[in-house]
Chain A
């Protein structure tokens, strides 16, 4: 019985996508468990009114609607014309007209189940279990949630006496407890899975996080969680959740739809033959497709603008002195564009972990970070080493003193009554710093520098040699070169990861690098630079036909996406021969950063007319809920050489991955790009999409009422569900959307047969493209016609025209 229960739980929660903790926020598609279904059946869109408002402003046009209709129902292209009044209507035009003029969509608004007492109690106990008080840990916590809860629940004053009595004699294991509770509630056989599914829908945020934690930490699982829920339900005598029947929208018949539409298009009476023909045409596009067709039209408008923008690109740099490799993150697009204002600089896009997936532990640090995509498990541990042992010892001593002071302060905060004494003794100091931070946000880094004066930074190197064998290092370097098409090397190559700085921001990690597991990308950039500079690695690369000149040096750097400054890392390793080039880069970068901050200010709320200094101070302002825009607006991904996009202002909305088919003869590099960076970009895109479309269901709500549960997540208020997705301030300003919710438009320049082969042999790509979770437009080379990928094969799109590169 025990295993059957676990199997039922696993089936009931199969489509739940694990939710990472806030400390390493990973953007995921919350409906990723439904990718095997078509997007229009599994997902949601904005309401029809929002699309109509866009239609009125021209954001969606009639040609967009017609194109979307024909994409969805290609048969309409051959469905003939109909004369209504004195105008001839093509079938697709009629369908598009119905979308605008008649509301047969009938999309029910999404609904969140009403919370009940069980939700409130479970949320409290799970939070107490997963984020234990340092001094008052739940008893029996080491034996799991079920044991810890059993030990405490019988004393819970929020439970009636009768319920507490019922909780006195429960089975020892959660499996038995769940089976017993289900049995007592009269749930048997095939009903079990349905009840478990409905129960898991009640607090979906907690369930998603428990699913992650079960696999990554192992101190809780969904079975224990459901055992507590259903046992409480039995003890309280509360009814089981029931499935809510889908609201039955009265669907109009095709005849009724024709009868509504025709008078809207012409005042002249139509013949019965016209009615029949219109009805037949409308029948090809049933109301349940209307919402997603609107969505496609919304995206089609952007996609066409994007491809059109690629027609006029800037000439390429023939002999750059500096090459900068940045993350594919859309925020890098702005920096790359401004850096390339100087023709001596050439840029590339690559996943921000630079192909070096590591678990990284800083020198003299306690914890580690998994600086790698969420698609991977950590297999290689990297740390730091230093030659300056004397300095390291002094620093370690100073760190111990500082940590002891911090721990003492924290402990005294958690001891009853101690905070009163603390307020008397240190309150004045805290009050003064609070005033400083509030009225002079720029003082925050100053205070930080003062506090860290006793522990100054120390020159270290990353320990790549012990983490990877020479073959592995050479393999990673070769993969990187082939994936980004780095077929020529400038004397200086900067590998710039990225990170964000903000104060009092629980969602700080969501602004860091997604390819580095929601961490800053410095460690990976340093590791990659060390690999590329390794003479042994270069010897192997040369033997594989990928020589790197001896005069080329790789330098690690980090792009701060709030200040847009790029800091050079491991500067002690830079040879004298390259210091002039680095200085040139830093000077050019300073100008580029100022231009980019100014450009971004146009979209940042409340930033107009602010000075550069004030804009950058957002990083230190603890009242600022918009330190930067993050990835708001992301809408597309372009995989191809930089010549495709050079000089085009993509408005920081596009993931840019460099790729040259000629450097990838067997297509393996493209397969890696499509099955990893593209998948991560899609996760990010859908996280933004769903957080915008329905904040209540898939977003985290406003930051202003968030309460942190340790580093796990946030609640809105003091109880309830763990919030999933992005906060309101990541996707909207008040009632106005900051993010345009569009599915990712992927553009690839590579042989179509190669792309098709890769899709056909990877189920994840088949699901994403065939089920319309993302769209794909591709061309063989710069002089070819664009094609759109569809379930019917590649469809030419000559209207998108041929690019005139470098003109």
Chain B
């Protein structure tokens, strides 16, 4: 682990129709990129979600994953918390380690 650099990994699961707002926050926070997984299935406070639908990407759940340096992550975490305060969606934050920190700075 010594050769790796510590970063913050943020995962956000939200309805597909709310994903543009979160993508906008991620970009505005200075993240150099993100991964989007549409059609996420599971069970939550609003009941079960079937996952990917053949002809509907709008009404499924999307998971957005981004990795940032800690100094940029705090602002994003605060903004996403604010966004999710009383709506559907969850956020997971964890430490992570990357081999090429310049990719995420």
Contact = CB atoms under 8 A, between A and B. Distances in A.
Given A14-B87, A221-B24, A760-B47, A4 B82 contact: yes
A8 B82 CA distance: 8
Nearest to A216: B20
B47 A766 contact: yes
Contact of A763 (B21, B29, B47, B54): B47
Interface string A1-16: 0111011101100100
Chain B CB count within 10 A is highest, among A8, A215, A677, for A215
Interface residues of B, number: 30
A764 interface: yes
B78 A672 contact: no
B79 A4 contact: yes
Contacts of B56: 373, 375-376, 675-676, 679, 764
Contact of A671 (B28, B53, B59, B83): B53
Chain A CB count within 10 A is highest, among B46, B53, B80, for B53
A761 interface: yes
A3 B22 CA distance: 11
Given A375-B58, A763-B59, A4 B47 contact: no
Given A671-B50, A761-B49, A3 B55 contact: no
A221 B56 CA distance: 25
B79 A763 contact: no
B49 to A, nearest CB: 6
Contacts, number: 93
Chain A CB count within 10 A is highest, among B47, B58, B75, for B58
Contacts of A679: 56, 59
A175 interface: yes
A373 B53 CA distance: 13
B95 interface: no
B21 A10 contact: yes
A357 interface: yes
A377 B24 contact: no
Contacts of B11: none
B79 A374 contact: no
Contacts of B46: 763
Contacts of A668: 54
A214 B20 CA distance: 8
B25 A6 contact: yes
Chain B CB count within 10 A is highest, among A6, A351, A355, for A6
Nearest to A215: B20
Contacts of A764: 56, 59
Interface string B48-86: 111001111111000000000000000110111011010
Nearest to B16: A375
A3 B25 contact: yes
B59 A675 contact: yes
A277 B2 CA distance: 79
Contacts of A221: 24
A375 B49 contact: no
Interface in A749-766: 760-764, 766
Interface string A670-683: 01100111010000
| A interface bracket (residues with beta carbon within 8 Å of B) | 35 or more
A158 B54 CA distance: 52
Given A675-B56, A676-B55, A3 B75 contact: yes
B55 A373 contact: yes
Given A3-B79, A4-B79, A762 B28 contact: no
Given A6-B79, A221-B24, A761 B55 contact: no
Contacts of B80: 7
Nearest to A676: B55
B55 A675 contact: yes
A760 B48 contact: yes
Contacts of B15: 763
A7 B58 contact: no
Nearest to B77: A3
B47 A675 contact: no
Nearest to B41: A761
B79 A175 contact: no
A214 B76 CA distance: 20
Interface in B1-56: 15, 18, 20-22, 24-25, 28-29, 46-50, 53-56
A377 B20 CA distance: 13
B45 to A, nearest CB: 11
B34 to A, nearest CB: 15
Contacts of A175: 28
Chain B CB count within 10 A is highest, among A211, A671, A675, A766, for A675
A448 B18 CA distance: 45
A11 B82 contact: yes
Contact of B50 (A373, A374, A479, A761): A761
Nearest to A5: B79
Contacts of A214: 20, 24
Contacts of B54: 479, 668, 672, 676
A760 B47 CA distance: 8
Contacts of A10: 21-22, 24-25, 83
Contacts of B50: 671, 761-762
Contact of A375 (B28, B59, B78, B79): B59
B8 to A, nearest CB: 15
Nearest to B22: A10
Given A375-B58, A766-B47, A7 B82 contact: yes
A355 B58 CA distance: 16
Interface in A467-489: 479
A221 B54 CA distance: 30
Interface string A151-193: 0000000000000000000000001000000000000000000
Nearest to A764: B59
Contacts of A761: 47-50
Nearest to B82: A7
A7 B20 CA distance: 12
B55 A11 contact: no
A762 B53 CA distance: 10
Nearest to B58: A375
A753 to B, nearest CB: 16
Interface in A210-264: 211, 214-215, 221
Nearest to B59: A764
Given A357-B55, A479-B54, A671-B50, A2 B85 contact: no
A221 B25 CA distance: 12
Contacts of B29: 3
A763 B57 contact: no
Nearest to B23: A215
Contacts of A14: 18, 21, 87
Contacts of A2: 28, 75
A762 B49 CA distance: 6
A215 B22 CA distance: 11
A295 B21 CA distance: 35
Contacts of A375: 55-59
Contacts of B58: 374-376
Given A760-B47, A763-B49, A6 B28 contact: yes
Given A7-B80, A375-B55, 14 more contacts: A3-B28, A6-B28, A10-B21, A10-B25, A214-B24, A215-B20, A351-B55, A355-B55, A357-B55, A374-B58, A672-B53, A760-B47, A762-B59, A763-B15
25 contacts: A2-B75, A4-B78, A4-B82, A6-B24, A7-B80, A10-B24, A11-B87, A14-B18, A214-B20, A214-B24, A351-B55, A355-B55, A373-B56, A375-B55, A375-B56, A376-B56, A376-B58, A676-B54, A677-B55, A679-B59, A761-B50, A762-B49, A763-B49, A763-B59, A766-B47
Interface of B: 15, 18, 20-22, 24-25, 28-29, 46-50, 53-59, 75-76, 78-80, 82-83, 85, 87
Q: Which 4 A-B pairs have the closest CB atoms?
A: A676-B55, A10-B21, A764-B59, A3-B79
